[in-house]
């Protein structure tokens, strides 16, 4: 055989079977007689034949590859959430012998659904049109980290409101009345829900919501630092800060050390995520643990079922986060 790319026609000729038989072997080998199946398998190995993914997909076969679309944002390559999500998906897919194709959405829809059997969206931020396009094209989709009520699509989310409410209520029960909040990017559903949970906990405990103590830091350490500078320029200083992410909470810890602010004696801090790095610092961070591994595992199971079961229906699941009490909250 020459150096050109081996084709399905070459395999069929070498094996003495039809092209249709080779196609059936690639997509549903059990549909062939054992004799033909073994003959084609030997030739595929001999010729080192690898079918083009696009052609295999057009033939109705499975690629054993799931796509992951991550909305791009500043710091994504250092984000605990993004890395844990990829790690969780990778582990869940490895158990099913399925590959992972990652695409980062940077305001341009260049994702090719011909490369995958189905797609998992890691949230929807500025790429709603992309989700709708893939659904319209018949691609099986699951969304994680966002509850989607207005589109017929499966999702696995987290009760961010409940997690934030419990974190703020925990601070209040410890005697704190001036509680600041470093909010995430409010274009993101989880950040908005965490802000709402914070506010509702204050209201339910008869504490006024004061916008001076709410700083939108967009999950950024730089903006978290700026927010702390502003908070500690106020006449009445906060005794506690609830942060919408552990990374921002970690910056608050650094700020406190630099300013000789005692933690937790002078300033109590609660984060959100349960980043392991924050459990082994000089202060082990009190935080809200969101079940990222469980969320990704469930999403993989749902997508696998949608792809392989024609009778599978849309599923919508909301997981409960857990308050993890460590060293950074004090009684007043």
Per-residue pLDDT of the chain (332 residues; tens, 9 = 90+): 444 567 888 888 888 988 888 877 876 677 788 888 888 889 888 888 876 655 555 455 677 899 999 988 777 777 888 889 999 999 999 999 899 999 999 988 988 888 899 999 999 888 999 999 999 989 999 999 999 999 999 999 999 999 999 999 999 999 999 999 999 999 899 999 999 999 999 999 999 999 999 999 999 999 999 999 999 999 999 999 999 999 999 999 999 999 999 999 999 999 999 998 887 666 799 999 999 999 999 999 999 999 999 899 999 999 999 999 999 999 98
DSSP 205: T
| pLDDT at residue number 60 | 54
pTM of the model as a whole? 0.81
| pLDDT at residue number 210 | 97
Bridge-based pairing of strands 214-216 and 179-183 is: parallel
139: nearest Cα among 163, 103, 107? 103
CA 15-19-23 angle, to 5 degrees, is 100
| pLDDT at residue number 184 | 95
- What H or E segment, with its residue span, contains residue 122? strand 118-122
| pLDDT at residue number 3 | 47
What gap in Å lies between CA 27 and CA 33, rounded to an integer? 14
Residue-range domains of the chain with CATH: 8-58 (1.10.260.40), 65-159+292-319 (3.40.50.2300), 160-290 (3.40.50.2300)
Maximum separation of any 2 CA atoms in the chain, in Å? 87
Q: Are the CB atoms for 200 and 232 separated by under 8 Å?
A: no
296: nearest Cα among 263, 319, 269? 319
| pLDDT at residue number 1 | 46
| pLDDT at residue number 196 | 98
Cα 167–chain centre separation: 22
Per-residue 3-state assignment (H helix, E strand, C coil) for 148-159: CCCCCCEEEEEC
């Amino acid at each position: 055989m020459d150096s050109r790319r081996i084709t399905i026609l070459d395999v069929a000729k070498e094996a003495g079977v039809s092209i249709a038989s080779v196609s059936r072997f690639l997509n549903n080998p059990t549909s062939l007689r054992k004799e033909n199946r073994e003959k084609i398998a030997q030739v595929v190995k001999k010729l080192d034949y690898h079918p083009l993914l696009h052609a295999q997909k057009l033939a109705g076969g499975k690629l054993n590859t799931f796509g992951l679309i991550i909305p791009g944002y500043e710091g994504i390559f250092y984000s605990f959430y993004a890395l844990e999500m990829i790690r969780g998906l990778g582990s869940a897919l490895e158990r099913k012998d399925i590959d992972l194709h990652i695409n980062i959405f940077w305001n341009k829809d260049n994702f090719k659904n011909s490369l995958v059997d189905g797609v998992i969206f890691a949230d929807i931020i500025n790429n709603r049109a992309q989700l709708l396009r893939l659904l319209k094209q018949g691609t099986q989709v699951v969304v994680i980290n966002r509850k989607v009520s207005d589109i017929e699509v499966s999702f696995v989310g987290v009760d961010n409101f409940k997690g934030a409410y419990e974190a703020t209520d925990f601070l209040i029960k410890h005697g704190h009345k001036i509680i600041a909040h470093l909010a995430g990017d409010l274009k993101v559903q989880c950040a908005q829900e965490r802000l709402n949970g914070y506010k509702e906990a204050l209201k339910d405990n008869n504490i006024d919501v004061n916008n001076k103590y709410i700083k939108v830091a967009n999950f950024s350490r730089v903006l978290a630092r700026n927010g702390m500078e502003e908070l500690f320029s106020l006449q009445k200083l906060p005794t506690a800060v609830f942060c919408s992410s552990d990374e921002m909470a970690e910056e608050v810890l650094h700020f406190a050390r630099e300013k000789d602010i005692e933690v937790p004696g002078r300033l109590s801090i609660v984060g959100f995520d349960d980043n392991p790095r924050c459990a082994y610092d000089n202060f082990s961070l009190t935080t809200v643990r969101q079940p990222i591994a469980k969320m990704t595992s469930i999403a993989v199971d749902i997508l696998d079922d949608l792809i392989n079961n024609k009778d599978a229906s849309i599923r919508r699941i909301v997981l409960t986060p857990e308050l993890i009490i460590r060293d950074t909250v004090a009684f007043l």
